[in-house]
Structure 1
Amino acid sequence: MITSRDGLCGIGELAERAGVTVKTVRFYSDRGLLPEASRSDGGHRRYGPGALDRLRLIRSLRALGLSVPEVRRVLDEEDETREAGGEGAPGGGALEAAVAGRLRELGSELRALRWREAALRLVQECPPGERAGRLRLIGAVPAPPSTAPLVRFWRGWLPPRMPARAAGAFLDVAVPQPPDDPAPDQVLAFARLNALTLAPCPGTAQPQPEAHRTAGAQGSAVLYAGLAEAYELAGAHLRRGRDPQPGEALDGFVAAYTSAYGVRDTPDFRRRLAGQLAADPRIDRYWELVAEVLTPPGRRPEPTPGSAHDWLLAALVAQTGAPPVPMT
Protein backbone atom coordinates (compact mmCIF):
# COMPACT_ATOMS: atom_id res chain seq x y z
CA MET A 1 0.00 0.00 0.00
CA ILE A 2 1.40 3.38 -1.01
CA THR A 3 1.36 5.88 1.84
CA SER A 4 2.59 9.08 0.17
CA ARG A 5 0.14 11.96 -0.25
CA ASP A 6 0.43 12.14 -4.00
CA GLY A 7 -0.19 8.39 -4.41
CA LEU A 8 3.26 7.85 -5.87
CA CYS A 9 6.18 5.87 -4.47
CA GLY A 10 9.92 5.93 -4.92
CA ILE A 11 12.05 3.25 -6.48
CA GLY A 12 13.20 1.88 -3.12
CA GLU A 13 9.69 1.47 -1.76
CA LEU A 14 8.50 -0.16 -4.99
CA ALA A 15 11.43 -2.57 -4.98
CA GLU A 16 10.80 -3.53 -1.36
CA ARG A 17 7.09 -4.17 -1.90
CA ALA A 18 7.75 -6.26 -5.00
CA GLY A 19 10.55 -8.23 -3.34
CA VAL A 20 13.18 -7.26 -5.91
CA THR A 21 16.28 -5.09 -5.89
CA VAL A 22 16.41 -1.43 -6.83
CA LYS A 23 18.74 -2.44 -9.64
CA THR A 24 16.03 -4.69 -11.06
CA VAL A 25 13.42 -1.92 -11.00
CA ARG A 26 15.85 0.44 -12.68
CA PHE A 27 16.63 -2.18 -15.36
CA TYR A 28 12.96 -2.60 -16.32
CA SER A 29 12.36 1.15 -16.21
CA ASP A 30 15.31 1.86 -18.49
CA ARG A 31 13.94 -0.63 -21.01
CA GLY A 32 10.48 0.94 -21.03
CA LEU A 33 8.68 -1.96 -19.37
CA LEU A 34 7.92 -0.04 -16.19
CA PRO A 35 7.07 3.59 -16.97
CA GLU A 36 7.73 6.26 -14.38
CA ALA A 37 4.88 8.54 -13.34
CA SER A 38 7.19 11.46 -12.68
CA ARG A 39 10.51 12.53 -11.19
CA SER A 40 11.02 14.25 -7.84
CA ASP A 41 12.67 17.65 -7.54
CA GLY A 42 15.89 15.79 -6.85
CA GLY A 43 15.53 13.71 -9.99
CA HIS A 44 14.40 10.51 -8.26
CA ARG A 45 11.99 8.17 -10.04
CA ARG A 46 8.38 8.11 -8.87
CA TYR A 47 5.90 5.36 -9.77
CA GLY A 48 2.11 5.31 -9.83
CA PRO A 49 -0.35 2.94 -8.08
CA GLY A 50 -0.32 0.41 -10.96
CA ALA A 51 3.45 0.01 -10.94
CA LEU A 52 3.49 -2.67 -8.26
CA ASP A 53 1.11 -5.01 -10.13
CA ARG A 54 2.95 -4.37 -13.36
CA LEU A 55 6.31 -5.13 -11.76
CA ARG A 56 4.97 -8.35 -10.26
CA LEU A 57 3.65 -9.36 -13.70
CA ILE A 58 7.04 -8.63 -15.28
CA ARG A 59 8.75 -10.71 -12.61
CA SER A 60 6.33 -13.62 -13.21
CA LEU A 61 6.83 -13.53 -16.95
CA ARG A 62 10.60 -13.44 -16.56
CA ALA A 63 10.43 -16.34 -14.08
CA LEU A 64 8.78 -18.38 -16.84
CA GLY A 65 11.82 -17.75 -19.02
CA LEU A 66 10.30 -15.15 -21.36
CA SER A 67 12.77 -12.75 -22.89
CA VAL A 68 12.57 -8.98 -22.42
CA PRO A 69 11.19 -8.44 -25.98
CA GLU A 70 8.53 -11.10 -25.34
CA VAL A 71 7.57 -9.45 -22.04
CA ARG A 72 7.31 -6.11 -23.84
CA ARG A 73 4.90 -7.58 -26.40
CA VAL A 74 2.71 -9.05 -23.64
CA LEU A 75 2.62 -5.73 -21.78
CA ASP A 76 1.93 -3.74 -24.93
CA GLU A 77 -0.98 -6.01 -25.76
CA GLU A 78 -2.30 -5.62 -22.20
CA ASP A 79 -2.08 -1.83 -22.47
CA GLU A 80 -3.87 -1.83 -25.82
CA THR A 81 -6.66 -3.99 -24.41
CA ARG A 82 -7.09 -1.68 -21.42
CA GLU A 83 -7.14 1.42 -23.63
CA ALA A 84 -9.84 -0.21 -25.76
CA GLY A 85 -12.00 -0.68 -22.69
CA GLY A 86 -11.12 -4.29 -21.89
CA GLU A 87 -9.93 -5.76 -18.64
CA GLY A 88 -6.29 -5.58 -19.66
CA ALA A 89 -5.40 -8.91 -18.10
CA PRO A 90 -2.53 -10.84 -19.68
CA GLY A 91 -3.75 -13.73 -21.77
CA GLY A 92 -3.88 -12.58 -25.38
CA GLY A 93 -2.04 -13.83 -28.43
CA ALA A 94 1.31 -12.42 -27.39
CA LEU A 95 1.35 -14.39 -24.15
CA GLU A 96 0.13 -17.58 -25.84
CA ALA A 97 2.80 -17.32 -28.54
CA ALA A 98 5.54 -16.63 -26.00
CA VAL A 99 4.51 -19.54 -23.78
CA ALA A 100 4.22 -21.92 -26.74
CA GLY A 101 7.66 -20.90 -27.97
CA ARG A 102 9.20 -21.37 -24.54
CA LEU A 103 7.62 -24.82 -24.24
CA ARG A 104 9.19 -25.83 -27.56
CA GLU A 105 12.57 -24.58 -26.38
CA LEU A 106 12.25 -26.43 -23.09
CA GLY A 107 11.31 -29.62 -24.92
CA SER A 108 14.50 -29.40 -26.96
CA GLU A 109 16.55 -28.59 -23.89
CA LEU A 110 15.10 -31.54 -21.98
CA ARG A 111 15.79 -33.91 -24.87
CA ALA A 112 19.38 -32.68 -24.97
CA LEU A 113 19.76 -33.18 -21.21
CA ARG A 114 18.31 -36.69 -21.33
CA TRP A 115 20.59 -37.56 -24.24
CA ARG A 116 23.66 -36.24 -22.37
CA GLU A 117 22.67 -38.14 -19.25
CA ALA A 118 22.40 -41.42 -21.17
CA ALA A 119 25.71 -40.68 -22.93
CA LEU A 120 27.42 -40.05 -19.59
CA ARG A 121 26.07 -43.32 -18.23
CA LEU A 122 27.30 -45.07 -21.34
CA VAL A 123 30.84 -43.82 -20.71
CA GLN A 124 30.61 -44.48 -16.97
CA GLU A 125 29.44 -48.08 -17.38
CA CYS A 126 31.76 -49.21 -20.18
CA PRO A 127 35.12 -50.96 -19.56
CA PRO A 128 38.04 -48.50 -19.33
CA GLY A 129 39.61 -49.87 -22.49
CA GLU A 130 36.51 -48.98 -24.54
CA ARG A 131 36.03 -45.45 -23.26
CA ALA A 132 38.23 -43.68 -25.81
CA GLY A 133 36.37 -45.28 -28.72
CA ARG A 134 32.96 -44.53 -27.26
CA LEU A 135 33.93 -40.94 -26.56
CA ARG A 136 34.87 -40.51 -30.23
CA LEU A 137 31.55 -41.97 -31.35
CA ILE A 138 29.47 -39.89 -28.94
CA GLY A 139 31.45 -36.71 -29.60
CA ALA A 140 30.43 -36.80 -33.27
CA VAL A 141 26.73 -36.61 -32.36
CA PRO A 142 25.21 -33.28 -31.21
CA ALA A 143 22.72 -33.13 -28.34
CA PRO A 144 19.92 -33.39 -29.12
CA PRO A 145 21.08 -35.59 -32.01
CA SER A 146 20.58 -34.71 -35.67
CA THR A 147 19.41 -37.12 -38.37
CA ALA A 148 20.95 -35.03 -41.19
CA PRO A 149 23.82 -37.50 -41.88
CA LEU A 150 21.31 -40.35 -42.18
CA VAL A 151 19.18 -38.35 -44.62
CA ARG A 152 22.25 -37.56 -46.76
CA PHE A 153 23.17 -41.25 -46.73
CA TRP A 154 19.80 -42.22 -48.18
CA ARG A 155 19.78 -39.36 -50.66
CA GLY A 156 22.83 -41.04 -52.20
CA TRP A 157 21.11 -44.42 -52.19
CA LEU A 158 17.75 -43.45 -53.67
CA PRO A 159 17.35 -43.26 -57.45
CA PRO A 160 18.28 -39.89 -58.99
CA ARG A 161 15.35 -37.59 -59.83
CA MET A 162 12.98 -39.65 -57.71
CA PRO A 163 9.86 -37.53 -57.00
CA ALA A 164 10.33 -35.51 -53.84
CA ARG A 165 7.09 -36.72 -52.27
CA ALA A 166 8.01 -40.37 -52.74
CA ALA A 167 11.55 -39.79 -51.50
CA GLY A 168 10.24 -37.96 -48.44
CA ALA A 169 7.83 -40.78 -47.62
CA PHE A 170 10.65 -43.30 -47.78
CA LEU A 171 12.95 -41.17 -45.63
CA ASP A 172 10.24 -40.95 -42.97
CA VAL A 173 10.42 -44.73 -42.66
CA ALA A 174 14.15 -45.30 -43.22
CA VAL A 175 15.54 -42.59 -40.92
CA PRO A 176 14.86 -43.36 -37.24
CA GLN A 177 14.07 -40.51 -34.89
CA PRO A 178 16.25 -40.68 -31.78
CA PRO A 179 14.21 -41.53 -28.66
CA ASP A 180 13.38 -38.60 -26.39
CA ASP A 181 14.47 -40.52 -23.29
CA PRO A 182 17.15 -42.96 -24.52
CA ALA A 183 18.89 -45.75 -22.67
CA PRO A 184 22.70 -45.81 -22.90
CA ASP A 185 22.58 -48.68 -25.41
CA GLN A 186 20.28 -46.65 -27.68
CA VAL A 187 22.72 -43.72 -27.56
CA LEU A 188 25.54 -46.07 -28.56
CA ALA A 189 23.48 -47.54 -31.40
CA PHE A 190 22.61 -44.10 -32.77
CA ALA A 191 26.25 -42.96 -32.51
CA ARG A 192 27.34 -46.07 -34.44
CA LEU A 193 24.61 -45.44 -37.00
CA ASN A 194 25.80 -41.86 -37.38
CA ALA A 195 29.39 -43.09 -37.90
CA LEU A 196 28.25 -45.69 -40.43
CA THR A 197 26.47 -43.12 -42.59
CA LEU A 198 29.44 -40.73 -42.42
CA ALA A 199 32.00 -43.36 -43.42
CA PRO A 200 33.39 -43.11 -46.99
CA CYS A 201 31.41 -45.14 -49.49
CA PRO A 202 33.21 -47.82 -51.49
CA GLY A 203 33.76 -46.68 -55.06
CA THR A 204 32.42 -43.39 -56.32
CA ALA A 205 28.80 -43.58 -55.17
CA GLN A 206 26.45 -45.25 -52.77
CA PRO A 207 25.71 -48.80 -54.07
CA GLN A 208 22.11 -48.87 -55.19
CA PRO A 209 20.30 -52.19 -55.72
CA GLU A 210 20.09 -53.12 -59.41
CA ALA A 211 16.46 -54.14 -58.92
CA HIS A 212 15.71 -50.53 -57.89
CA ARG A 213 17.96 -48.72 -60.33
CA THR A 214 16.33 -50.29 -63.39
CA ALA A 215 12.91 -48.99 -62.34
CA GLY A 216 13.78 -45.38 -63.21
CA ALA A 217 12.72 -42.26 -61.34
CA GLN A 218 8.93 -42.55 -61.78
CA GLY A 219 8.95 -46.32 -61.46
CA SER A 220 10.89 -46.00 -58.23
CA ALA A 221 8.10 -43.93 -56.71
CA VAL A 222 5.63 -46.72 -57.48
CA LEU A 223 8.11 -49.33 -56.27
CA TYR A 224 8.83 -47.73 -52.91
CA ALA A 225 5.15 -47.05 -52.23
CA GLY A 226 4.36 -50.72 -52.84
CA LEU A 227 7.31 -51.89 -50.78
CA ALA A 228 6.18 -49.75 -47.84
CA GLU A 229 2.82 -51.55 -47.78
CA ALA A 230 4.50 -54.97 -48.07
CA TYR A 231 6.97 -54.14 -45.30
CA GLU A 232 4.12 -53.15 -43.02
CA LEU A 233 2.39 -56.48 -43.61
CA ALA A 234 5.63 -58.39 -43.08
CA GLY A 235 6.26 -56.42 -39.90
CA ALA A 236 3.05 -57.83 -38.42
CA HIS A 237 4.40 -61.36 -39.02
CA LEU A 238 7.75 -60.44 -37.51
CA ARG A 239 6.10 -59.13 -34.36
CA ARG A 240 4.35 -62.47 -33.97
CA GLY A 241 7.57 -64.40 -34.55
CA ARG A 242 6.28 -66.14 -37.70
CA ASP A 243 8.64 -67.74 -40.18
CA PRO A 244 8.79 -66.40 -43.78
CA GLN A 245 5.81 -67.72 -45.75
CA PRO A 246 3.72 -67.04 -48.87
CA GLY A 247 0.69 -64.85 -48.50
CA GLU A 248 -0.59 -61.30 -48.82
CA ALA A 249 2.70 -59.73 -47.71
CA LEU A 250 4.78 -61.63 -50.27
CA ASP A 251 2.23 -61.01 -53.04
CA GLY A 252 2.33 -57.28 -52.27
CA PHE A 253 6.13 -57.37 -52.27
CA VAL A 254 6.23 -58.90 -55.75
CA ALA A 255 3.43 -56.61 -56.97
CA ALA A 256 5.55 -53.58 -56.07
CA TYR A 257 8.16 -54.72 -58.59
CA THR A 258 5.72 -55.79 -61.32
CA SER A 259 3.93 -52.42 -61.07
CA ALA A 260 7.21 -50.52 -61.27
CA TYR A 261 8.44 -52.56 -64.26
CA GLY A 262 5.08 -52.86 -66.00
CA VAL A 263 5.24 -56.67 -66.23
CA ARG A 264 3.08 -59.60 -65.15
CA ASP A 265 3.57 -61.63 -62.00
CA THR A 266 4.66 -65.10 -63.17
CA PRO A 267 6.66 -67.92 -61.54
CA ASP A 268 9.56 -67.12 -63.86
CA PHE A 269 9.51 -63.44 -62.85
CA ARG A 270 9.51 -64.42 -59.18
CA ARG A 271 12.55 -66.68 -59.70
CA ARG A 272 14.47 -63.96 -61.52
CA LEU A 273 13.49 -61.35 -58.91
CA ALA A 274 14.63 -63.59 -56.06
CA GLY A 275 18.00 -64.14 -57.73
CA GLN A 276 18.47 -60.44 -58.43
CA LEU A 277 17.53 -59.34 -54.93
CA ALA A 278 19.83 -61.95 -53.41
CA ALA A 279 22.74 -60.56 -55.45
CA ASP A 280 22.02 -56.88 -54.76
CA PRO A 281 24.16 -54.90 -52.28
CA ARG A 282 22.82 -54.99 -48.74
CA ILE A 283 23.13 -52.73 -45.74
CA ASP A 284 22.14 -55.12 -42.99
CA ARG A 285 24.30 -53.32 -40.42
CA TYR A 286 22.31 -50.13 -40.95
CA TRP A 287 19.02 -51.86 -40.21
CA GLU A 288 20.45 -53.75 -37.22
CA LEU A 289 21.45 -50.43 -35.68
CA VAL A 290 18.08 -48.87 -36.52
CA ALA A 291 16.37 -51.67 -34.61
CA GLU A 292 18.66 -51.05 -31.62
CA VAL A 293 17.91 -47.32 -31.70
CA LEU A 294 14.15 -47.88 -31.76
CA THR A 295 13.97 -50.72 -29.24
CA PRO A 296 14.31 -50.08 -25.49
CA PRO A 297 16.41 -52.66 -23.59
CA GLY A 298 14.59 -55.88 -22.80
CA ARG A 299 12.01 -55.48 -25.59
CA ARG A 300 11.62 -57.55 -28.77
CA PRO A 301 13.35 -55.69 -31.65
CA GLU A 302 10.97 -53.55 -33.67
CA PRO A 303 10.61 -54.55 -37.34
CA THR A 304 12.45 -52.28 -39.77
CA PRO A 305 12.26 -52.02 -43.57
CA GLY A 306 15.49 -54.02 -43.58
CA SER A 307 14.22 -56.89 -41.44
CA ALA A 308 10.91 -56.89 -43.32
CA HIS A 309 12.78 -57.03 -46.64
CA ASP A 310 14.86 -59.98 -45.42
CA TRP A 311 11.71 -61.80 -44.27
CA LEU A 312 10.00 -61.25 -47.62
CA LEU A 313 13.08 -62.21 -49.63
CA ALA A 314 13.45 -65.41 -47.60
CA ALA A 315 9.80 -66.20 -48.32
CA LEU A 316 10.36 -65.54 -52.04
CA VAL A 317 13.49 -67.70 -52.17
CA ALA A 318 11.71 -70.55 -50.39
CA GLN A 319 8.75 -70.30 -52.77
CA THR A 320 10.78 -70.21 -55.99
CA GLY A 321 13.73 -72.43 -55.07
CA ALA A 322 16.14 -69.59 -56.03
CA PRO A 323 19.72 -69.66 -54.72
CA PRO A 324 19.92 -68.95 -50.98
CA VAL A 325 20.34 -65.38 -49.85
CA PRO A 326 24.03 -64.64 -49.21
CA MET A 327 24.93 -63.79 -45.64
CA THR A 328 26.54 -60.37 -45.05
Structure 2
Amino acid sequence: MAGMDGGAVFGIGELARRTGLTVKAIRFYSDEGIVPPTGRSPAGYRLYGHDAVARLDLVRTLRELGLDLPTIRRVLDRELTLAEVAAAHADAVAAQIGVLRLRRAVLVAVAERRAGPEEMGLMHRLAKLSEDGRRQLVGEFLDSAFGDLADEPAFRGIARSLTPELPDQPEVAQVEAWVELARLAQDPDFRACVRRLAERHRGVHEGLGPDPAAVVRDAVAPALAAGVEPTSTEAGRVVAAVLDRVPHVSAERLAALLEAANDPRRERYLRLLAVVNGWPAPESATPAFDWFLRALGHEALSVG
Protein backbone atom coordinates (compact mmCIF):
# COMPACT_ATOMS: atom_id res chain seq x y z
CA MET A 1 0.00 0.00 0.00
CA ALA A 2 1.29 3.50 -0.86
CA GLY A 3 0.68 6.69 1.08
CA MET A 4 -0.45 9.99 -0.30
CA ASP A 5 3.20 11.07 -0.64
CA GLY A 6 4.09 7.88 -2.48
CA GLY A 7 5.75 6.23 0.54
CA ALA A 8 4.72 2.70 1.45
CA VAL A 9 2.38 2.31 4.42
CA PHE A 10 1.39 -0.85 6.26
CA GLY A 11 -1.56 -1.94 8.23
CA ILE A 12 -0.85 -3.20 11.71
CA GLY A 13 -1.14 -6.82 10.57
CA GLU A 14 1.48 -6.37 7.84
CA LEU A 15 3.74 -4.48 10.29
CA ALA A 16 3.48 -7.39 12.70
CA ARG A 17 4.49 -9.82 9.96
CA ARG A 18 7.50 -7.71 8.97
CA THR A 19 8.77 -7.18 12.52
CA GLY A 20 7.87 -10.49 14.17
CA LEU A 21 6.00 -8.67 16.94
CA THR A 22 2.41 -9.35 17.86
CA VAL A 23 -0.40 -7.02 16.85
CA LYS A 24 -1.10 -6.51 20.54
CA ALA A 25 2.51 -5.43 21.20
CA ILE A 26 2.54 -3.00 18.28
CA ARG A 27 -0.78 -1.52 19.37
CA PHE A 28 0.67 -1.05 22.87
CA TYR A 29 3.79 0.72 21.56
CA SER A 30 1.61 2.82 19.32
CA ASP A 31 -0.67 3.83 22.22
CA GLU A 32 2.44 4.76 24.22
CA GLY A 33 3.57 7.09 21.44
CA ILE A 34 6.74 5.12 20.79
CA VAL A 35 5.70 4.07 17.27
CA PRO A 36 2.95 6.48 16.21
CA PRO A 37 0.91 5.72 13.10
CA THR A 38 1.36 7.92 10.05
CA GLY A 39 -2.38 8.01 9.43
CA ARG A 40 -5.49 5.90 9.17
CA SER A 41 -7.24 4.02 6.41
CA PRO A 42 -10.72 5.04 5.17
CA ALA A 43 -12.03 2.34 7.50
CA GLY A 44 -10.22 3.91 10.46
CA TYR A 45 -7.38 1.37 10.80
CA ARG A 46 -3.90 2.56 11.76
CA LEU A 47 -1.30 2.86 9.03
CA TYR A 48 2.50 2.89 9.50
CA GLY A 49 5.42 3.90 7.30
CA HIS A 50 8.80 2.24 6.66
CA ASP A 51 10.34 4.04 9.62
CA ALA A 52 7.97 2.13 11.92
CA VAL A 53 9.76 -1.12 11.01
CA ALA A 54 13.15 0.33 12.00
CA ARG A 55 11.75 1.88 15.19
CA LEU A 56 10.14 -1.37 16.27
CA ASP A 57 13.32 -3.34 15.57
CA LEU A 58 15.22 -0.93 17.82
CA VAL A 59 12.50 -1.05 20.48
CA ARG A 60 12.58 -4.83 20.56
CA THR A 61 16.39 -4.89 20.85
CA LEU A 62 16.43 -2.33 23.66
CA ARG A 63 13.62 -4.10 25.52
CA GLU A 64 15.50 -7.41 25.28
CA LEU A 65 18.50 -5.62 26.82
CA GLY A 66 16.28 -4.58 29.72
CA LEU A 67 15.70 -0.87 29.02
CA ASP A 68 12.49 0.71 30.27
CA LEU A 69 9.99 2.41 27.98
CA PRO A 70 10.68 6.02 29.11
CA THR A 71 14.38 5.57 28.26
CA ILE A 72 13.53 3.99 24.92
CA ARG A 73 11.22 6.90 24.10
CA ARG A 74 14.03 9.38 24.85
CA VAL A 75 16.36 7.47 22.53
CA LEU A 76 13.81 7.44 19.73
CA ASP A 77 13.09 11.13 20.27
CA ARG A 78 16.88 11.75 20.14
CA GLU A 79 16.99 13.17 23.64
CA LEU A 80 19.61 10.50 24.43
CA THR A 81 22.17 8.87 22.17
CA LEU A 82 22.47 5.13 21.94
CA ALA A 83 26.05 5.40 23.22
CA GLU A 84 24.90 7.20 26.39
CA VAL A 85 22.19 4.67 27.02
CA ALA A 86 24.50 1.72 26.33
CA ALA A 87 27.12 3.01 28.78
CA ALA A 88 24.58 3.59 31.55
CA HIS A 89 22.92 0.26 30.94
CA ALA A 90 26.24 -1.57 30.91
CA ASP A 91 26.90 -0.23 34.42
CA ALA A 92 23.47 -1.37 35.54
CA VAL A 93 24.01 -4.83 34.07
CA ALA A 94 27.39 -5.07 35.83
CA ALA A 95 25.65 -4.32 39.13
CA GLN A 96 23.02 -6.95 38.38
CA ILE A 97 25.74 -9.49 37.58
CA GLY A 98 27.33 -8.75 40.94
CA VAL A 99 24.03 -9.37 42.70
CA LEU A 100 23.50 -12.61 40.79
CA ARG A 101 27.01 -13.80 41.68
CA LEU A 102 26.28 -13.19 45.33
CA ARG A 103 22.99 -15.07 45.10
CA ARG A 104 24.62 -17.98 43.29
CA ALA A 105 27.42 -18.16 45.83
CA VAL A 106 24.93 -18.36 48.68
CA LEU A 107 22.82 -21.00 46.93
CA VAL A 108 25.86 -23.14 46.05
CA ALA A 109 27.15 -22.94 49.61
CA VAL A 110 23.72 -23.78 51.04
CA ALA A 111 23.42 -26.79 48.75
CA GLU A 112 26.91 -28.06 49.56
CA ARG A 113 26.51 -27.57 53.32
CA ARG A 114 22.86 -28.68 53.41
CA ALA A 115 22.29 -25.52 55.40
CA GLY A 116 19.03 -24.75 57.14
CA PRO A 117 17.03 -21.49 56.89
CA GLU A 118 18.93 -19.77 59.73
CA GLU A 119 22.36 -20.51 58.29
CA MET A 120 21.21 -19.56 54.80
CA GLY A 121 20.00 -16.20 56.12
CA LEU A 122 23.38 -15.58 57.76
CA MET A 123 25.26 -16.47 54.58
CA HIS A 124 23.02 -14.21 52.52
CA ARG A 125 23.68 -11.27 54.85
CA LEU A 126 27.42 -11.87 54.69
CA ALA A 127 27.36 -11.94 50.90
CA LYS A 128 25.41 -8.66 50.68
CA LEU A 129 27.72 -6.68 52.95
CA SER A 130 28.98 -3.43 51.47
CA GLU A 131 32.70 -2.69 51.26
CA ASP A 132 32.44 -0.75 54.55
CA GLY A 133 30.55 -3.65 56.12
CA ARG A 134 33.19 -6.14 55.00
CA ARG A 135 35.96 -3.88 56.32
CA GLN A 136 34.21 -3.61 59.69
CA LEU A 137 33.74 -7.38 59.95
CA VAL A 138 37.40 -8.05 59.17
CA GLY A 139 38.50 -5.30 61.54
CA GLU A 140 36.51 -6.84 64.38
CA PHE A 141 38.07 -10.23 63.66
CA LEU A 142 41.62 -8.85 63.67
CA ASP A 143 41.00 -6.77 66.80
CA SER A 144 39.63 -9.82 68.58
CA ALA A 145 42.48 -12.03 67.37
CA PHE A 146 45.38 -9.67 68.05
CA GLY A 147 44.04 -7.23 70.64
CA ASP A 148 46.85 -5.08 72.06
CA LEU A 149 49.37 -6.99 69.92
CA ALA A 150 48.04 -5.12 66.88
CA ASP A 151 49.99 -2.05 68.02
CA GLU A 152 53.31 -3.83 67.59
CA PRO A 153 54.98 -3.25 64.19
CA ALA A 154 55.45 -6.97 63.44
CA PHE A 155 51.79 -7.71 64.06
CA ARG A 156 50.58 -4.77 62.01
CA GLY A 157 52.21 -6.44 59.03
CA ILE A 158 50.67 -9.79 59.91
CA ALA A 159 47.23 -8.19 60.24
CA ARG A 160 47.56 -6.59 56.80
CA SER A 161 48.57 -9.94 55.33
CA LEU A 162 45.40 -11.50 56.75
CA THR A 163 43.03 -8.85 55.36
CA PRO A 164 40.69 -9.93 52.53
CA GLU A 165 39.83 -7.40 49.85
CA LEU A 166 36.99 -8.51 47.60
CA PRO A 167 37.30 -6.78 44.19
CA ASP A 168 34.51 -4.61 42.78
CA GLN A 169 33.60 -7.26 40.21
CA PRO A 170 34.51 -10.56 41.86
CA GLU A 171 34.45 -13.94 40.23
CA VAL A 172 31.98 -16.49 41.57
CA ALA A 173 34.80 -18.38 43.32
CA GLN A 174 35.89 -15.17 45.08
CA VAL A 175 32.37 -14.52 46.36
CA GLU A 176 32.05 -18.11 47.58
CA ALA A 177 35.42 -17.83 49.32
CA TRP A 178 34.43 -14.53 50.93
CA VAL A 179 31.21 -16.00 52.37
CA GLU A 180 33.10 -18.92 53.92
CA LEU A 181 35.95 -16.71 55.13
CA ALA A 182 33.53 -14.26 56.75
CA ARG A 183 31.77 -17.09 58.59
CA LEU A 184 35.13 -18.41 59.78
CA ALA A 185 36.23 -14.94 60.92
CA GLN A 186 33.11 -14.72 63.09
CA ASP A 187 33.78 -18.07 64.78
CA PRO A 188 34.82 -17.35 68.41
CA ASP A 189 36.87 -20.57 68.56
CA PHE A 190 38.83 -19.60 65.46
CA ARG A 191 39.44 -16.10 66.82
CA ALA A 192 40.78 -17.67 70.02
CA CYS A 193 42.98 -19.97 67.93
CA VAL A 194 44.51 -17.01 66.06
CA ARG A 195 44.98 -15.19 69.37
CA ARG A 196 46.87 -18.16 70.85
CA LEU A 197 49.05 -18.36 67.76
CA ALA A 198 49.84 -14.63 67.94
CA GLU A 199 50.78 -14.87 71.61
CA ARG A 200 52.99 -17.90 71.04
CA HIS A 201 54.58 -16.26 68.03
CA ARG A 202 55.49 -13.23 70.12
CA GLY A 203 56.73 -15.49 72.93
CA VAL A 204 59.19 -17.36 70.72
CA HIS A 205 60.13 -14.71 68.18
CA GLU A 206 60.47 -11.33 69.87
CA GLY A 207 62.85 -10.15 67.14
CA LEU A 208 65.69 -12.29 68.46
CA GLY A 209 66.22 -14.36 65.34
CA PRO A 210 64.53 -15.98 62.35
CA ASP A 211 60.90 -17.01 62.43
CA PRO A 212 60.93 -20.51 64.02
CA ALA A 213 58.04 -21.76 61.92
CA ALA A 214 59.84 -20.71 58.72
CA VAL A 215 63.01 -22.42 59.94
CA VAL A 216 61.05 -25.64 60.48
CA ARG A 217 59.49 -25.51 57.00
CA ASP A 218 62.86 -24.90 55.32
CA ALA A 219 64.63 -27.63 57.29
CA VAL A 220 61.95 -30.26 56.91
CA ALA A 221 61.28 -29.80 53.18
CA PRO A 222 64.33 -31.82 52.02
CA ALA A 223 63.57 -34.58 54.54
CA LEU A 224 59.99 -34.84 53.33
CA ALA A 225 61.11 -34.89 49.71
CA ALA A 226 63.60 -37.67 50.51
CA GLY A 227 61.00 -39.71 52.38
CA VAL A 228 62.86 -39.54 55.71
CA GLU A 229 60.82 -41.08 58.53
CA PRO A 230 60.22 -38.72 61.50
CA THR A 231 61.32 -41.50 63.88
CA SER A 232 64.66 -42.04 62.16
CA THR A 233 68.15 -41.01 63.19
CA GLU A 234 68.25 -38.60 60.25
CA ALA A 235 65.10 -36.94 61.58
CA GLY A 236 66.86 -36.44 64.89
CA ARG A 237 69.60 -34.55 63.11
CA VAL A 238 67.00 -32.32 61.44
CA VAL A 239 65.46 -31.55 64.84
CA ALA A 240 68.87 -30.71 66.28
CA ALA A 241 69.66 -28.44 63.34
CA VAL A 242 66.40 -26.53 63.81
CA LEU A 243 66.96 -26.07 67.53
CA ASP A 244 70.48 -24.85 66.84
CA ARG A 245 69.12 -22.18 64.48
CA VAL A 246 66.62 -20.92 67.08
CA PRO A 247 68.56 -21.19 70.34
CA HIS A 248 66.27 -18.69 72.06
CA VAL A 249 63.33 -21.12 71.70
CA SER A 250 62.93 -24.23 73.80
CA ALA A 251 61.67 -27.44 72.24
CA GLU A 252 58.48 -27.18 74.33
CA ARG A 253 57.72 -23.63 73.20
CA LEU A 254 58.47 -24.48 69.59
CA ALA A 255 56.09 -27.44 69.78
CA ALA A 256 53.35 -25.20 71.25
CA LEU A 257 53.84 -22.71 68.43
CA LEU A 258 53.65 -25.36 65.72
CA GLU A 259 50.58 -26.98 67.24
CA ALA A 260 48.80 -23.63 67.24
CA ALA A 261 49.92 -22.88 63.68
CA ASN A 262 48.89 -26.35 62.55
CA ASP A 263 45.18 -25.78 63.20
CA PRO A 264 43.41 -26.74 59.94
CA ARG A 265 41.13 -23.68 60.21
CA ARG A 266 44.14 -21.39 59.92
CA GLU A 267 45.24 -23.06 56.71
CA ARG A 268 41.67 -22.93 55.40
CA TYR A 269 41.53 -19.20 56.15
CA LEU A 270 44.78 -18.62 54.26
CA ARG A 271 43.52 -20.56 51.23
CA LEU A 272 40.23 -18.64 51.20
CA LEU A 273 42.15 -15.39 51.61
CA ALA A 274 44.26 -16.20 48.57
CA VAL A 275 41.14 -16.83 46.47
CA VAL A 276 39.42 -13.61 47.60
CA ASN A 277 42.52 -11.48 47.00
CA GLY A 278 43.53 -13.20 43.77
CA TRP A 279 46.82 -14.45 45.21
CA PRO A 280 48.54 -17.74 44.35
CA ALA A 281 47.40 -20.61 46.54
CA PRO A 282 49.69 -20.90 49.57
CA GLU A 283 51.75 -24.02 50.02
CA SER A 284 50.49 -26.14 52.90
CA ALA A 285 52.71 -26.12 55.98
CA THR A 286 50.80 -29.03 57.53
CA PRO A 287 53.04 -31.86 56.23
CA ALA A 288 56.18 -30.11 57.52
CA PHE A 289 54.66 -29.26 60.90
CA ASP A 290 53.21 -32.75 61.34
CA TRP A 291 56.55 -34.33 60.48
CA PHE A 292 58.54 -32.09 62.79
CA LEU A 293 56.13 -32.51 65.72
CA ARG A 294 56.38 -36.29 65.37
CA ALA A 295 60.18 -36.11 65.12
CA LEU A 296 60.36 -33.77 68.11
CA GLY A 297 58.13 -36.07 70.14
CA HIS A 298 60.23 -39.07 69.20
CA GLU A 299 63.41 -37.26 70.26
CA ALA A 300 61.86 -36.35 73.60
CA LEU A 301 60.90 -39.99 74.21
CA SER A 302 64.36 -41.13 73.24
CA VAL A 303 65.99 -38.72 75.65
CA GLY A 304 63.55 -39.63 78.38
Q: TM-score normalized by structure 1?
A: 0.46
Q: TM-score normalized by structure 2?
A: 0.49
